[in-house]
Amino acid sequence: MSDAQPIYSIEDLVIDLYATTVSVRAVDGVSFNVRPGETVAVVGESGSGKTVMTLGPLGLLPEGVTVDMKGSARADGSELLSIGSRQLSDLRGRYFGVIFQDPMSALNPMLKIGPQLARQARRFAGLSQEAARKEAVSLLARSGIPDPEDRYNRYPHEMSGGMLQRAMIALALAARPRVLIADEPTTALDATVQAQILELIRQIQREDGIAVVLITHDIGVVASVADRVIVLYAGQVAEEGTAMDVLTRPVHPYTRGLLASVPDFRADERAATREIPGLPPNQIRLEPGCRFAERCELVEAGCRQHRPPLQTISASTSPHRVACPVVLKREGIAVHV
Partner 1 sequence: MSDVAAIEVRGLKVHFPNRSGVGAVRAVDGINLTVARGAFHGIVGESGCGKTTLARTIVGLQKESEGTVLIGGRDRAEWLKSDRKSFSREVQFVFQDPLGSMSRRQSVYQTLEEPLQIHRFGSSVERRRRIAELLDLVALPATVLDRLPRSLSGGQRQRVSIARALALKPSILVCDEPLSALDVSIRAQIVNLFTSLQKQLGLTIVIVAHDLAIVREVCSDVTVMYLGRISEAGLTRPLFREPAHPYSQALLSAVPSPDPRIEAGRRRIILAGDPPSPSAPPPGCRFNTRCPVAIDVCRVEEPMLRSVPHGGVAACHLADSGRRPVI
Nearer to partner 1 among residue 265 and residue 288 (C-beta): 265
Helices H, strands E: what count in the chain?
11, 12
Taking the C-alpha atoms of residue 174 and residue 196, their distance in angstroms, rounded to an integer, is 20
For 114, the enclosing helix (H) or strand (E) is helix 113-125
Map residue 66 onto helix, strand or coil.
Answer: strand
Contact segment (CB under 8 A) with partner 1 among 12-20, 71-79, 110-118, 244-252 equals: 244-252
Choose, by CB under 8 A, the member of 146, 209, 302, 309 that binds partner 1: 146
Residue of the chain from 243, 251, 290, 328 that contacts partner 1 (CB under 8 A):
243
Residues shown for the chain: 337
Report the 10 Å Cβ neighbour count for 48: 26
| 203 lines the binding site for partner 1 (CB under 8 A) | no
Q: Does 23 bind partner 1 (CB under 8 A)?
A: no
In the complex, minimum distance from the CB of residue 264 to partner 1, in angstroms, rounded to a whole number: 6
Considering CB under 8 A, how many residues would be counted as binding partner 1? 46
Q: If binding is defined by CB under 8 A, does position 46 make contact with partner 1?
A: yes
Mask: binding to partner 1, 73-92, rule CB under 8 A, as x and -? --------------------
Establish if 247 lies at the interface with partner 1 (CB under 8 A): yes
Q: Among 220, 294, 300, 307, which residue sits at the site for partner 1 (rule: CB under 8 A)? A: 220
- Residue 209 interacts with partner 1 (CB under 8 A)? no
Q: Is 55 in the site for partner 1 (CB under 8 A)?
A: no
Shortest gap between Cβ of 279 and partner 1 (angstroms)?
A: 5
Q: At what angle do helices 129-142 and 161-173 cross, to 10 degrees?
A: 130
**Residues ≥6 apart with Cβ < 8 Å to 126:** none
Residues 259-278 that bind partner 1 (CB under 8 A): 259, 261-267, 272-277
Note whether 221 binds partner 1 by CB under 8 A: yes
Where do the DSSP E strands lie in the chain? 8-18, 23-34, 39-43, 66-75, 78-79, 96-99, 179-183, 211-216, 228-233, 236-242, 311-314, 320-322
Using DSSP bridges, classify how beta strands 96-99 and 179-183 pair: parallel, antiparallel or unpaired. Answer: parallel
- 298 lies in the site for partner 1, by CB under 8 A: no
8 A C-beta contact, residue 269 and residue 282: no
At 285, phi and psi to the nearest 5?
Answer: -95, 115
Binding site for partner 1 (CB under 8 A): 45-46, 146, 160-163, 190-196, 198-199, 217-224, 226, 243-244, 247-248, 257-259, 261-267, 272-277, 279
